[in-house]
A and B are shown apart, each in its own frame.
Chain A
Amino acid sequence: MKRLDAPIARTYSGAASAAGPLIFVRSTRRAKLGEWVRIGGSGQDDRRGQVIDVGTEITVIQLFEDTLGLKPADAAITLTGETATTVVGQDLLGRALSGTGEPLDGLPPSIGEARLPIWGAPINPVRRQHPSDFIETGVSAIDGMNTLVRGQKLPVFSAPGLPGVELAADIVENARPARGEPFAVVFAAMGITERETQSFVSRFLESEVMQRTVLFLNQASDPTIERLLTPRVALTTAEHLAFTHGIHVLVVMADITHYAEALREVAAAREEIPGRRGYPGYMYTDLASLFERAGVLKGGSGSVTQLPVVSLPDGDMTHPIPDLTGYITEGQIVLSRELHQRGVYPPIDVLPSLSRLMNAGIGEGRTAPEHREWANQLYAVYARGREAKLMAAIVGSEGLAPGDRRALDFVDAFETKLINQSGVRRSLPETMRVGWSLLETLPRDELSRISEATWASRPGTAKAEEASQ
């Protein structure tokens, strides 16, 4: 791993200059890239930083804390000889920690089982197990239509004013493994507001799910740069739980947009050549170093699944943050302002949403044998209805063919009955029952995606009763 061979701390006094989150130190003889740094000095609080550029003349250190009041000339700079690490262990479950892993719950720091570097090494692709089982989130639009699969990374594309973080919080509370296997949630909050912290964190802390949850909270008022550490500390914790203890870990990261902005801030401070909209050219690689830490290992029993929340600036899907995220992740769950305004919660638009690994996680022995047909049929009718809706706006609903008119009515029922669940958890069988009841309102010959056998044995029919007995 990325451990440095000789962890010998050296202290230098005085930096040459400071700019934004960076300080520049002269002639640090044995500095190593990625080395962890402590910055103190007379009357100054200890700050933490990391070497991001070593040179014989100047070494650049990026601070992970506020530089307010920092006096470069008086600073005592200690190169620790180690890379950034975090304490990991099962005793972290139930804890609320800061964005860098310090206790926030008034309890003493965790002793843990090991101290691991946070910059995780890439999984050797031949050691990856292809994801193949599902996680029930309790959300119909996800479980039924865009199933989350263990080892997957499936972001929620939200936007200002849309309840992306609320949805993430619901999932933290409601998520369950397929068959009661060991399960944990690691929640990494990046730049979330005091309001959000109050409403969710207090909810988690009081609820029984806290026992299987670790919270890492970097709030909006915390130093921006700390946000670059938070997801990595969280993922290191999750990897340890998953690959050492065989637990299925769901990592919820909110909000990736705040993370990317921190990345841009550092790039600008380093006077790097900016890429699209000022974000650094290596943002794809950097985001990949987070998202690619999801996965399942061959021969292992645990998994790391990621559910990042991305706020689309101005709701723009082509903005570099959602765009690059979409290229790395395995699908996306897209929230819709229109549904939100109509009071549908969660306001998930299933048409642009996609779970690329869904097929690997559903079907016989995983969810239900008819899951694919069921989802395809709902999808087909809903898509037709949405198209009819556009058409109806021009020609009026009278101008529609009868099949299109039925599909148009279906849209409303689908959104209010299946998508909308007003915060109540729904199991997958419940979700599927709702879907069947919607499909049953349509003539059988319009349900071409459902085979005869599947139709005959759907829930509620005599044959299904027989099978369940």
Chain B
Amino acid sequence: MTEARIIRVAGAIAEAEPLGDTALYELVEVGERRLLGEVIRIQGDVATIQVFEETSGLGLHEPVRRTGSSLMIRLGPGLLGSILDGVGRPLNGLAERSGDFMAPGMTMPTLDPDARWSFTPTVAAGADVSGGDVLGEVEERPGMVHRVLMPPGSTGRVVDIEQGTFTVTEAIGSLSDGTALTLSQPWAIRQRRPFANHLPGDRPFITGQRVFDLLFPVMEGGSVAVPGGFGTGKTVIEQSLAKYAKADIMVYIGCGERGNEMAEVLHDFGRLTDPETGRSIMDRTILIVNTSNMPVAARDASVYLGMTIAEYYRDMGYHVAILADSLSRWAEALREIAARLQEMPGEEGYPTYLANRMSRLYERAGRVESQGTPTRTGAVTFISAISPPGGDFAEPVTQASLRVVGALWALDPRLAHQRQFPAVDWDISYSLYADGTRAWFSKEGGADWSELRVETVRLLQRDRELREIAGLVGVDALEDEDRLVLEGARIAREFLIGQNAFHPHDAFSSVEKTYQLVKMLWAFMQTGETALKEGTAFEKLDLAAVRVAFGAVKTAAPDELGEEISKAKRTIAEMRPA
């Protein structure tokens, strides 16, 4: 067979001929520097390839080699704490080899090939095993058990399986047909990993952000779109969730975003500890980093890579949260590639299959019962930031997301300008998970959680109407009852749904603290209403003391929280003049 040669290069796209009986999405090595690429179109003998690395310097007649498989990642112990580029290469390893700047044409395994892991089998020789069965365990990080699974689709009888220390590719045992068992398994990232059954969600994903947990909750296994123009705080929200939200594993995908932000993530995550376990949060985190100036095709791959890793840990029985920042950059990568292929554009130049691809991606989230024994349930929760051009949500990426996600956290630049963070627009945000999470919150938060939620939404709506009126007639012209509503809503905005991501005690709010704050808000409203009814003038209420008390609870250290709450309750009770 004649060797395949490059016949065209333009941007991130190369064409090669003849590539033989290649398949779509087969991984190829392009040119003398062996740049990674994948086949995205086949026309007769000519294959079109999107190249994951910088293409400048690539010339005609350079060779193209097939690899026989699509873009794979080796899944196994050692993923936790790693920092990967869009195609799964460890960035620290690349830096050791090529220095401060990225250089093309370097292959490097995702998992450290020399690391040795202590493996304890949980099946014995003679056992019949099939895809998804747990073969044994490795303690990947202290307290973090990595379950070694039979690769999906495989089956056989275990002939031998050993306890001991192994690298990720050494045989830990074998099957009767001679297949070696290893600690790791390859997986094609564009393919969804199989599971036994979809399960309905049964509990909320606790974000630690009061505005979400209280007003717009998300289910474990749910999906959320977080659209917002620039400067509305998308990244701060994604980072806060990655740092503090309750999940076993976090996969953070920095897709086409800022290098300095990623540096901040790396810096902060390395120093933060999980308050529950006392260990570094990097122990539960995988970072995938493809900054905006890194190759555009790898941006496309980065999202699938993150999803595959999340599904792998889900299959072990964990709850994994994926934080993608931002899905718009991923969609733009699709658009850029489609334009180079001269495909007929759909809306705003995006390819017509955009919505389709996005739905397929979002639908990889969910709560499932894994394949194999013992029975395990796991979940993947998917939170994706979206960067709509001009902050206008009527654009294709936002709209395609809204067709599939269960919650919308819409960010509003006006709130951001008022320094109201998280700048969630409570008028247009929604959650379809509110009903499903009600039972859990009633039990774990407080019996009246749902009523308080509804009341708070109503208060904020009433506030908006009143402020429109006040804008016309002045605040002084309002009834005292209405002024109380304005004050209550102001407290709600500042102390309940407003949260300072940079304050050590305010960045994360436990369900208990959220509940206490919303309780306090309603104690304030009731006390105020009673006082007004009994003839006290609004001006006579000691609002300054109340605000100070709310502020103290909001930023109280955990060991002072109880005391601050009691003090605040007293302050509220005493806000009427004697």
Contact = CB atoms under 8 A, between A and B. Distances in A.
B512 interface: no
A52 B256 CA distance: 23
Interface string A349-382: 0011010110110000000000000000001000
B275 interface: no
A128 B291 CA distance: 12
A391 B471 contact: yes
Contacts of B293: 122, 285, 288-289, 292-293
Q: How large is the interface on A (under 10, 10 to 19, 20 to 34, 35 or more residues)?
A: 35 or more
B266 A326 contact: no
B394 interface: no
Point out which of B61, B294, B476 has the most chain A C-beta atoms below 10 A from its C-beta: B294
Interface centre among B95, B102, B293 (most CB of A within 10 A): B293
B417 interface: yes
A31 interface: yes
A298 B92 CA distance: 13
A107 interface: no
B103 A126 contact: no
Interface string A107-122: 0000000000001111
B337 to A, nearest CB: 10
Contact of B9 (A4, A54, A292, A297): A54
A30 interface: yes
A395 B292 contact: no
Given A275-B348, A281-B332, A284-B332, A125 B291 contact: yes
Contact of B54 (A121, A298, A327, A400): A121
Interface in B103-150: 103-104
A128 B263 contact: yes
A83 B57 contact: yes
Contacts of A383: 418-419
Interface in B93-107: 94-95, 98-104
A294 to B, nearest CB: 8
A323 interface: yes
A444 interface: no
A276 interface: yes
A327 B387 contact: yes
A120 B100 CA distance: 12
B200 interface: no
Interface in A279-338: 280-282, 284-285, 288-289, 292-295, 297-298, 300, 317-320, 323-324, 326-328, 330-332
B230 A323 contact: yes
B285 to A, nearest CB: 14
A383 B292 CA distance: 33
Interface string B256-278: 10111011101100000000000
B392 interface: yes
Contacts of A41: none
B474 A292 contact: no
22 contacts: A1-B103, A2-B56, A31-B59, A54-B10, A56-B7, A56-B8, A125-B289, A126-B83, A273-B345, A276-B389, A280-B339, A281-B349, A285-B293, A288-B256, A318-B392, A323-B230, A328-B292, A331-B231, A356-B231, A360-B264, A391-B474, A401-B475
Q: Which 4 A-B pairs have the closest CB atoms?
A: A34-B56, A318-B390, A288-B292, A32-B59
